[in-house]
Amino acid sequence: MQTPWLARFSGRTAGLGLFVAALLSAATIASLRGPKGWPMASIALGLAWALGVWSSRPDRDGAEAPARTALAAVVLLSATTFFAAWHSQPTVTVNDGYGWDGLQYHAIYQFIGTGEFTQRPIFPFHQRLGVPAIASFLPLPERSAFLVLGFAFYASALGLLARFWLVRRSLRADLVVAACGWLCLHWISPLRAGVCYPINIDASTLFFDAAFFAMLWSPRLVRLLPLVALVAALFKESALLTAGLWLASTAILSVVREGPRRDALRRRLPVLLAAVLAALLAKTLAGSLITPRLLVTESSAATLARWLQTRADHPLQLVRLLSTFVNAYGGWLLVPLAALSARPSVAPEARSDDDLDDGHLLLWLCLFVGVTFISGSDLSRFAWQASPVALTLALSTLHRRAPRSALALTLTSLAFVRLFTAVPSPSEGHLMPADDYEGAYSWMMETAHYSLVAAWAAFGVVYWLVAERVLSRPREPRG
């Protein structure tokens, strides 16, 4: 007869074996290429994700799976997701596959490689040197270089977040694997910019945001935040926004809170201020290296003023913002909200020096949503960028109040991600969005027709109410 330890080991080994087998199946099916291969690859990926969650669950005695089991599942899942999407999702035809932003990154890539421009990159793209610069030095064709860098940054970001959630936050391994699986689905679903628009920098943005966030929690590494902000701003100027919002949220709470937590917050302020200044310096230098300052006719302040006026003139665009976050996170946003409203609040025990509690994260997220709403049109990309903080909040709530809900909430959220359909290319003669009912632009809430936006918002409200009703039911004791 097997000992309990050996039984647990055998069960998890079998789970991981099935998980790897499903990943290999997804990779094989993806080799069919094109839209016909995508639905079958999606099914295999979904099976692999479910098996990864199952192999990371606590055993019957309540013993948690080792962190290395969950980390292995996350890395393998992200790798196979990238491979399957790369092979099954066709590159869009807009601008010969470069899309809109990709044309600007292609111009930087070409300038670094040859010293000449076919076109000069415009604001704000001329500041984003990091990924095109590295890609230009790789011994690969341009699109392959961008794809390889995208996968490297993406897998690293997921691994970093998974380790942070497992080790620093001590969250359940199956919840962590499920959350990382959702990030994989989100990356290849409403946006799927990493594969249908291969020349992009979104994965590097996620990596640096995750690194900045994780280092905030480390007493040893927090001093390196100015260096991280400096490097991150060379990849995308949003690093200045990230650091600035952490500085703002910390400053606000350092006034409101008292005692040791106020002291801990105030000790962080000089480091965060240095990070903001470092990001500002890097942003300024990066912008002047490619495009002389006299040729730049726009600025961040002018962009904020223009979009603030646009949002004020069209207040119903708040519905687009709501629908964007519902589509981005599905049940991962709605179930924690339902859990908070369904039961009396039970705050986690915080150490006296723990100034980065859920309240701090919620304040940062609110500031982020407010600022990005008036920063541009790419609401889906902004929602995705908030995932390190948003999912940390969600996982903390689920860990305390609905720890066994990972599989159910994800399965019921698949309607949000259009998993079984390859991203279509915009049709000729309709390259720009115009409140679309169908096609690629109807997938993103910032460009879809208002009837679709309202329908997804209503679906999210109904989902929330049903989840709240389920979580409010009294639980009968087992046995």
The Cα 224–Cα 208 span in angstroms is: 13
Instruction: Evaluate if pTM is beyond 0.85.
Output: no
pLDDT of 346 higher than 60:
no
- List Cα–Cα distances, 424 to 43, 192, 259, 335, 447, in angstroms: 19, 11, 56, 31, 15
For range 259-276, the mean pLDDT: 88
Do 208 and 433 meet the contact criterion of CB atoms below 8 Å apart?
no
**According to DSSP H, which parts of 90-129 are helical?**
101-114
Q: How confident is the model at residue 34 (pLDDT cuts 50, 70, 90)?
A: very low
**Percent of the chain clearing pLDDT 90 (strictly above):** 12
Supply the pLDDT for residue 376. 80
pLDDT of 61 higher than 80:
no
**Highest mean pLDDT pick, 96-110, 186-200, 435-449:** 96-110
Q: Which residue has the higher pLDDT, 82 or 232?
A: 232
Q: How confident is the model at residue 126 (pLDDT cuts 50, 70, 90)?
A: confident
Tokens of 395: 């996982």
Residues 410-424: tens digit of each pLDDT? 777 777 766 666 677
Using alpha carbons, select from 358, 193, 356, 347 the residue that is nearest to residue 272: 356
Q: Look at phi and psi of residue 99 and say left if phi exceeds 0, alpha if psi is from -120 to 50, else beta.
A: left
Tokens of 225: 């935040």
For range 38-60, the mean pLDDT: 62
The Cα 415–Cα 273 span in angstroms is: 42
The identity of residue 246, as a single letter, is W
Using alpha carbons, select from 459, 453, 457 the residue that is nearest to residue 436: 453
Q: Which residue has the higher pLDDT, 298 or 363?
A: 363
Do 107 and 119 meet the contact criterion of CB atoms below 8 Å apart?
yes
For 230, counting Cβ atoms within 10 Å of its Cβ (0-12 exposed, 13-18 middle, 19+ buried), the class is: buried
The Cα 115–Cα 117 span in angstroms is: 7
Q: Which residue has the higher pLDDT, 478 or 1?
A: 478
pLDDT of 14 higher than 50:
no
pLDDT of 354 higher than 80:
no
Mean pLDDT of the chain: 76
For range 433-451, the mean pLDDT: 76
Supply the pLDDT for residue 246. 94
Return the minimum-mean-pLDDT range out of 27-36, 292-301, 337-346, 373-382. 27-36
Give the other-Cβ count within 10 Å of 109's Cβ: 22
What residues contact residue 209 under an 8 Å CB cut-off, 6+ apart? 232, 239, 242, 385, 388
Backbone angles phi, psi at 218, to 5 degrees: -100, 120
**Reduced DSSP (H G I as helix, E B as strand, rest coil) percent helix, strand, coil of the chain, to 5:** 70, 0, 30
